[in-house]
Amino acid sequence: MNRAPLGWPTAVPPPTVDGWMDRATSWLLDQLPGEYRESEVARRYPILLSRMALLQVRSEVGSVRLLIGRIRVDLKGFLTPAATNSALEMFEKRLANLATLEREVTLVGDAIERNAQGHLP
């Protein structure tokens, strides 16, 4: 059976498919700042890469929540009420996208961890 768990990222083959780890590694790198692509240790240890990606996503969630909480105060006088509302809508959409991404990264990381238990490269 080559079905992925519910919430699995569409860009990554299920962990039952040969070669899925290479695609998962590439996809996880896509979730991180570009300079991590040059890191040999991140590519060699996908479990490290998955943890890095999860922390990156969670960090962005915190940043967006902070923006939502501060925009009316910090940008009062700089944005019109309509612009403030539009920005808040944009941030709420980003939070929803990040929730999906966090779920995907968690699922991939869990699969990598199951695959890697007891197998040092």
Q: Is 13 among the domain residues? A: no
Q: Is residue 11 part of a domain?
A: no
Tell me the per-residue pLDDT of 62-114, one tens digit each, with 9 for 90 and over. 999 999 999 999 999 999 999 999 999 999 999 999 999 999 999 999 999 99
Query: pLDDT, tens digit, for every residue of 2-23?
Result: 688 899 999 999 999 999 999 9
pLDDT of residue 26: 96
Specify the residue for token string 């919430």: 7
Q: How far apart are CA 108 and CA 15, in angstroms?
A: 8
Give me the domain span that covers residue 97.
Answer: 20-116
To the nearest 10 degrees (0 to 180), the angle between helices 46-74 and 81-116 is: 170
Number of structural domains, the chain? Answer: 1
DSSP-assigned letter for residue 32: S
Would you state the pLDDT for residue 9?
A: 97
Q: Which two tokens stand for residue 95?
A: 């939070």
Tell me if 86 is assigned to some domain. yes
pLDDT interval class at 118 (50, 70, 90): low
Compute the chain's Rg from CA coordinates: 18
